[in-house]
Structure 1
Amino acid sequence: MRFILLAIFLVFAPATSSALNTGRIFVSNEKSHDIYVYDADFNLIKQIETSQRPRDMKLNAARTLLYVACGDDDIIDVIDVETLEIVDGIPTGPSPEVFEFSPDESQIYVSNEEDSMLEIIDLLARITVHDVPTGAEPEGVIAPAGSNKLYVTSEVADMVHVVDRDKGVVTNNIIVGTRPRRFVITPDTNELWVSAELSSEIYVIDRTSEEITEILEFLPPGFRPEDVTPVGMALTRDGGIGLISLGRANHVAIIDARSKELLSYVLVGRRAWSVALSRDEKIAVVANGLSDDITLIDMQTYRPIRSIPAGRVPHTVVIDD
């Protein structure tokens, strides 16, 4: 009973003024098994030891709790944003990699890499509602508001699964490029973008027809096509600008998200993996997985500001501002 009451409190606890918009930047580090926490000036203020292999992270809507998928311990750690302590854990299937909340935060959708399942967990009851079979090595998950659909990538099957989240069944499979990784949805909710790491492409899918409408390719100067391995993406709130981390090409591509025209390539660290925007959208933060640092990008000049040391193999950036 005590565990259930704790779960109820953590999921539905209201935000406190001290825990909201702290200005902190959180970076998960896969190989040092920790979260680096920086203040708003990018000074390192704490290293939080987590379960093994922390990867994807997300804040709850109240921005009081940070959820961290820890792939080697089959758990999602829950961190109090104010105290910076781990306060709970949500057991998952084997090797959770990426997850998403339902719009009302009653459920969490987890891609379990090792058993090729999308797991739908009831956050209050802490039970698995559905295990949805996917292609091998599922990764990216996104659950747009106003829809009963969610989407999950399969790295090995080279496809996007469309899932009815109420029934827990796959309703369509969309074939894309090699090793699809992550998603973003445009603010008008019409387009679903998918990064295909090994075919060096971004696929644009019309969400109504579930058809591919565009395929975007990038090639920074001095790199071969096979060096371009896009993974993380971000969009400005108005849907005007898109950022795509280009992996081993060590750049971020900045594009006009409507016309899809390239605006700039920005040199960052080695293997640019994920990217996040500050709330005022003046700075982008890029996790560089092979140089063990993060790079700050000035979004007005499209130039790197500086790089800051992180832990071993930084994976995901979350900004609480």
Structure 2
Amino acid sequence: MKSLALFALLLAATLSAHAKDSGLAYVSSEKDHAITLVDLKTLAVVGTIPTCKRPRHMQRLAGDTQLMVACSDSGRADLIDLATRRSVGSMALGDDPEVFDLSPDGTAAYVSAEDDGALNVFDLVTKKQRGSVPLGKEPEGVTVSADGRRVYVTSEVANMVHVVDAGTLQVVKNIAVGKRPRRFAFSADGSELWVTNELGSSVSIISVRDLAVVATVPFDVKGMRADDITPVGLTLSRDGKTMYVGLGRANHVAFVDVATRKTTQLVLVGKRAWGLALNRDGSRLFVVNGLSDDMTVVDTASAKALKTLAVGRVPHTVVVDD
């Protein structure tokens, strides 16, 4: 019996070790109701994980052993064990959850509820809803400040960023930005919050201290109309000097110098460049393309696309685990 118990402990430890740094990219596929697995060394698809209906945004939970997947058509989150690559549980999230962020201590999830026009807060320990904050129509992007005191939420219809006090769950300010704001990224020092404006062909930059827009970065792609430049996903380089912005239907990723707020490079990728993620050292940028059903891997040093591979129908989010 003791040997069996010891074997079980060793097995659990082994699985836990393999759960981290799996060497995979996980890509949610809205139409396939699955997560596609991509080997980061070979850049080849090595499997899929069935999940709930219309998986969209994903994040690793505290401890990096599970992946939380928001499924809009199921109204819940699927919890995927990264060691076994299987669903190990779920949590109700209400109607049409899309994007979420986690509290710094990993105990709460802040989820945009598009149909309800609200930010819903869930306890990740009890898997129960803690509260709800009414917002403008069609809230989408969500990000939590590093200290956990504020939650920022975009409202696509109101063209605003709502600033929510995480302690009181009250809106402390509404900030007007560009047309149809979507996603966020903080600057390296946390003083600026960059917001993509999908129908404004731009990014608004918010001063976190003043809670006001201090600059706008417009985008221009030769041969394309402004209406075709629809930025959504963005992520900051590891050195904090470059903001990578997916330009949606413009089928490019823009490299924006954070200091000068100027575009320095444009990289051609797939159709409707959407979700973005970097590997650990920042040498590769992974771009999911929602209308060409693929993902482009970009070498950030040379600003060149290395490979584009099919990753399921309507990919939404990529999480890199290296």
Q: TM-score, normalised by structure 2?
A: 0.94
Partner SS for 2:25: strand
- The separation in 1 between residues aligned to 2:153 and 2:277, in whole angstroms, is 20
Match of 1:27 in 2: 27
Match of 2:277 in 1: 276
Partner SS for 1:73: coil
- The separation in 2 between residues aligned to 1:82 and 1:46, in whole angstroms, is 14
Match of 1:125 in 2: 126
- The separation in 1 between residues aligned to 2:266 and 2:289, in whole angstroms, is 15
In the TM superposition, 1:32-47 aligns within 5 A as: 32-40=32-40, 41-47=42-48
- The separation in 2 between residues aligned to 1:278 and 1:54, in whole angstroms, is 22
Give the Å deviation of 1:239: 1.1
- The separation in 2 between residues aligned to 1:126 and 1:56, in whole angstroms, is 18
Change (3 A) 1:88 1:97: same
Match of 2:165 in 1: 164
Match of 2:291 in 1: 290
Alignment RMSD: 1.4
Question: Unaligned stretches of 5+ in structure 1?
Answer: 1-12
- The separation in 1 between residues aligned to 2:55 and 2:127, in whole angstroms, is 20
In the TM superposition, 1:40-55 aligns within 5 A as: 40=40, 41-55=42-56
Partner SS for 1:16: helix
Q: How many residues align?
A: 309
Contact residue 70 and residue 77 of structure 1 kept, 8 A: yes
What is the one-letter code of the residue matched to 2:80?
I
Match of 1:111 in 2: 112
What is the one-letter code of the residue matched to 2:107?
S
What is the one-letter code of the residue matched to 1:20?
K
Give the Å deviation of 1:147: 4.2
What is the one-letter code of the residue matched to 1:295?
T
Match of 2:319 in 1: 318
Question: Unaligned stretches of 5+ in structure 2?
Answer: 1-12
Contact residue 297 and residue 308 of structure 2 kept, 8 A: yes
Partner SS for 1:315: strand
Aligned-residue identity in percent: 44
CA offset digits 1:50-104 (Å, max 9, x no partner): 1111000001232211110000010011101111101111101110000011000
Match of 1:17 in 2: 17
Match of 2:86 in 1: 85
Match of 2:228 in 1: 227
Match of 1:138 in 2: 139
Match of 2:60 in 1: 59
**Runs ≥4 in structure 1, deviation > 2 angstroms?**
none
What is the one-letter code of the residue matched to 2:34?
D
Partner SS for 1:87: strand
In the TM superposition, 1:181-200 aligns within 5 A as: 181-200=182-201
- The separation in 2 between residues aligned to 1:86 and 1:173, in whole angstroms, is 38
CA offset digits 1:142-179 (Å, max 9, x no partner): 00222411100111111000001111111100011111
Partner SS for 2:173: strand
